[in-house]
Amino acid sequence: MKFTYRRLAPLAAAALTLGAVAGGAVISAAPASATPSYDCPGGTFCGWDGRDGTGSMLFQYDAGCFLHDIGNGGVGDRLTSYWNRTGVTVGVYNWTGKEWQLLATVANNARGTLPSSADNKADAVSMCI
């Protein structure tokens, strides 16, 4: 898979949930809750370092067709929860040292906590999978 890279500094915002595919297992997104911990503007994909949209907001990206290298942005291996409000499916990737490994896919409007197999392993997110 060919990616266009975009290096962006981490921003402040919200959480991402995924209908994830990790290690071949399909994981359903948790139902949306009314808790204020998920604070992510429409049209963006947001990630946090805590469970259920808590902790520090690591990044917030729009739906541009790029592989957002969060490792080079200083927040690699810290993603725990998310909210996808981009309107498209998002891929969450790990850099193995040789290639980008898909950890999970996140459906539009999904939010939640990554499965343990993907927790604190993400180095990039892509809106073009």
Decide if pLDDT at 8 tops 80: no
* Residue 5 token pair: 């890279």
Second CATH level (architecture) for the domain 5-126: Sandwich (2.60)
| Greater pLDDT, 24 or 95 | 95
List the chain domain ranges: 5-126
| Greater pLDDT, 41 or 8 | 41
| The pairing of beta strand 100-106 with beta strand 111-113 | unpaired
pLDDT in tens, 31-87: 434 344 788 999 999 999 999 999 999 999 998 889 999 999 999 999 999 999 999
Based on its alpha-carbon atoms, the radius of gyration of the chain, rounded to whole angstroms, reads 13
pLDDT in tens, 92-102: 999 999 999 99
**pTM of the predicted model over 0.85:** no
